[in-house]
């Protein structure tokens, strides 16, 4: 296949476009990589068998042009904007309307594309209901060669870490995570808390907050954690998320604890962690702090799971879906 892609320069863009394209190139396919800030020029994309499109809903005209010229298009979106409670378009009603407008554009792209990809079954159902020609559910996977994959770093004490963006603000309001961490810091003098992105109101010298972390430095951060936590409130938006946060913790050699919500359901000790009900965070973390053997056993399983979840092991799913999309585009034209 001769492949091109258009994607947002975000961490999700790596999972939903760049990592799959790198793995497809390693399998012998030709990938056109951007040589300028605006991406691959349209004249070159028109020579592709397929162009993979991650978000960029403000360029639907270009997507339509590719379709009209017989180029197969796969479109990807991995968030349910219709249910998002946090918005970059403002607060309250203004933000809600902004998110709905984005989701309407997503559905337009879904109807145009020969293939829609997403990491979540619920989103896949939504796209099919909206008129998608074909939908493939493909999880997020890290590359095995990512710096820090599977390695640990020395650190003081027992570190509980949480990597969370601003979209987790509603989870803090609904779940007693702050109370749990305060209580645990009081209970265990060796306990340290590390958060990236979200800043917690923890007034302790054993709390460390890291602001912006580049995606390529992510595993260096999770390598400092003994346990990574992934608390999620049971909301429509969270049910449509992916399970990649647990893979990030596992790839950094940390055990994990997560809410039994959406993408985390069905995962457990075989994958290197445990599920935690809303009111059980103190007990769950306390158990691992008091049982280093259990923590080490889970961390070992986590790394084993992460190594089985790398993009090179799962790229065939992308490859098969794209080949089918090219055949579908040929029939369409």
CA–CA gap between residue 187 and residue 194 (Å, rounded): 17
* 163 and 303 belong to one structural domain: yes
* 168 and 297 belong to one structural domain: yes
**pLDDT score recorded for residue 21:** 96
Would you say 56 and 11 are in contact if contact means Cβ atoms under 8 Å apart? no
**pLDDT score recorded for residue 101:** 87
* 290 and 323 belong to one structural domain: no
**pLDDT score recorded for residue 211:** 85
* 270 and 317 belong to one structural domain: no
Position 319 in a domain = yes
Position 320 in a domain = yes
For residue 319, the enclosing domain spans: 2-141+312-332
* 320 and 194 belong to one structural domain: no
- Give the angle subtended at the CA of 54 by the CAs of 50 and 59, to the nearest 5°: 85
CA dihedral over 10, 11, 16, 19, signed as positive or negative: positive
CA–CA gap between residue 247 and residue 224 (Å, rounded): 15
CA–CA gap between residue 34 and residue 210 (Å, rounded): 31
Residue count of the chain: 333
Position 152 in a domain = no
- The structural domain count of the chain equals 2
CA–CA gap between residue 195 and residue 180 (Å, rounded): 14
* 101 and 40 belong to one structural domain: yes
CA distances from 40 to 5, 51, 164, 280 (A): 8, 10, 31, 49
* 131 and 166 belong to one structural domain: no
**pLDDT score recorded for residue 93:** 77
Q: From start to end of the chain, where are the E strands?
A: 2-7, 30-31, 50-54, 72-76, 115-118, 135-137, 158-164, 191-197, 207-210, 227-230, 255-258, 273-275
* 230 three-class SS: strand
* 59 and 103 belong to one structural domain: yes
Position 271 in a domain = yes
Q: pLDDT 10s per residue in the chain (333 long)?
A: 999 999 888 889 999 999 999 999 999 999 999 877 678 889 999 999 999 999 888 888 999 999 999 999 999 999 888 888 787 777 777 877 888 888 999 999 999 999 999 999 999 999 999 999 999 999 999 998 888 888 888 888 999 999 998 888 889 999 999 999 999 999 999 999 999 988 999 999 999 999 888 888 899 999 999 999 999 999 999 999 999 999 999 999 999 999 999 999 999 999 999 999 999 999 999 999 999 999 999 999 999 999 999 999 999 999 999 999 999 999 877
Position 83 in a domain = yes
DSSP 3-state helix, strand, coil percentages of the chain (rounded to 5)? 50, 15, 35
CA–CA gap between residue 136 and residue 138 (Å, rounded): 6
* 171 and 290 belong to one structural domain: yes
CA–CA gap between residue 22 and residue 20 (Å, rounded): 5
- Domain with 79 in it: what CATH number? 3.40.50.2000
* CA 243 centroid distance within chain: 7
* 301 and 317 belong to one structural domain: no
CA–CA gap between residue 211 and residue 217 (Å, rounded): 12
* 179 and 286 belong to one structural domain: yes
Alpha helix (H) residue ranges in 205-291: 218-222, 236-239, 244-251, 281-290
Neighbour order of strands in the sheet with 255-258: 207-210, 191-197, 158-164, 227-230, 255-258, 273-275
* 133 and 245 belong to one structural domain: no
131: left (phi over 0), alpha (psi -120 to 50) or beta: left
Position 192 in a domain = yes
Least Cα distance to 257 among 209, 223, 295, 219 occurs for 295
Q: Say what the pTM is.
A: 0.92
- The token pair at 93 is 């009603």
């Amino acid at each position: 296949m001769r492949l091109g892609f258009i994607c947002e320069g975000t961490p999700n863009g790596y999972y939903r476009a760049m990592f799959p394209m790198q793995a497809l190139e390693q399998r012998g396919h030709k990938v056109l990589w951007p040589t300028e800030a605006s991406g691959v020029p349209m004249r070159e994309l028109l020579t592709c068998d397929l162009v993979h499109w991650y978000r960029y809903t403000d360029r639907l005209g270009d997507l339509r042009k590719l379709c009209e010229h017989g180029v197969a298009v796969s479109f990807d979106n991995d968030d349910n904007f219709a249910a998002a409670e946090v918005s970059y378009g403002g607060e309250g009603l203004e933000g809600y309307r902004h998110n709905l407008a984005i989701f309407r554009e997503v559905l337009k792209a879904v109807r145009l594309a020969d293939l829609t990809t997403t990491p979540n079954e619920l989103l896949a159902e939504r796209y099919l209901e909206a008129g998608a020609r074909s939908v493939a559910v493909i999880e997020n996977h890290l590359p095995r060669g990512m710096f820090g994959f599977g390695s640990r770093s020395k650190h003081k004490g027992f570190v509980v870490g949480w990597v969370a963006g601003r979209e987790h603000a509603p989870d803090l309001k609904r779940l007693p995570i702050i109370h749990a961490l305060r209580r645990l810091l009081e209970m265990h003098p060796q306990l340290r808390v590390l958060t990236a992105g979200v800043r917690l109101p923890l007034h302790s010298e054993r709390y460390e907050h890291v602001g912006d972390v580049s995606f390529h430095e992510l595993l260096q951060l999770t390598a400092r954690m003994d346990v990574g936590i992934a608390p999620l409130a049971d909301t429509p938006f969270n049910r449509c998320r992916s399970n990649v946060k647990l893979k990030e913790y596992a790839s950094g050699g940390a055990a994990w604890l997560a809410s039994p919500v959406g993408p985390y359901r069905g995962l457990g000790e075989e994958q290197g962690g445990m599920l935690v009900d809303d009111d059980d965070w103190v007990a769950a973390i306390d158990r691992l702090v008091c049982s280093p053997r259990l923590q080490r056993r889970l961390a070992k399983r986590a790394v084993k799971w992460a190594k089985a979840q790398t993009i090179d092991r799962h790229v065939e799913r992308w490859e098969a879906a794209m080949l089918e999309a090219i055949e579908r585009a040929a029939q369409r034209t």
